[in-house]
Amino acid sequence: MGEKGDKMTNASVLAVELMVQKLESIGSITAKKMFGGHGIFHEGKMFGIIDSKGVAYLKSDASLSKFFESSGSHKHGKMPYYSIPETVLGDNKLLVEWAGKSIKISKK
């Protein structure tokens, strides 16, 4: 989730709490501390991450990455996760829609 040696910041803790709250309408959303950040799960399958600095990312595949990139997202290192733009984070309906796409990817 972060760079080697990164320590979880308060921003990461606050970001994960907010993300779980914003996605509660989906149901079965949980978070777990992992590698200096957090994994975000739906029914036990990880579909998102919050890095040690509090930046949120959603899981992608080849078809979804083009959508994310065209929306201004950037890839998290070599991992198949893309950042969530502020415009999406600020719009609960849109955030739930984006998360739903990543949840589908995580179930493959």
pLDDT in the model for residue 97: 97
Average pLDDT over residues 24-42: 93
CA 88 – CA 105 distance, rounded (Å): 19
User: Hey, what domains does the chain have and what are their CATH numbers?
Assistant: 10-106 (3.30.1460.30)
Average pLDDT over residues 7-18: 84
Closest CA to 48 of 69, 37, 9: 37
Give percent above pLDDT 70 in the chain. 93
Average pLDDT over residues 95-101: 97
Locate 75 and state its tokens.
């890839």
Within the chain, residue ranges assigned H as helices are: 10-22, 62-70, 86-89, 92-106
pLDDT in the model for residue 7: 66
Average pLDDT over residues 40-65: 95
* Residue whose structure tokens are 């990139």: 69
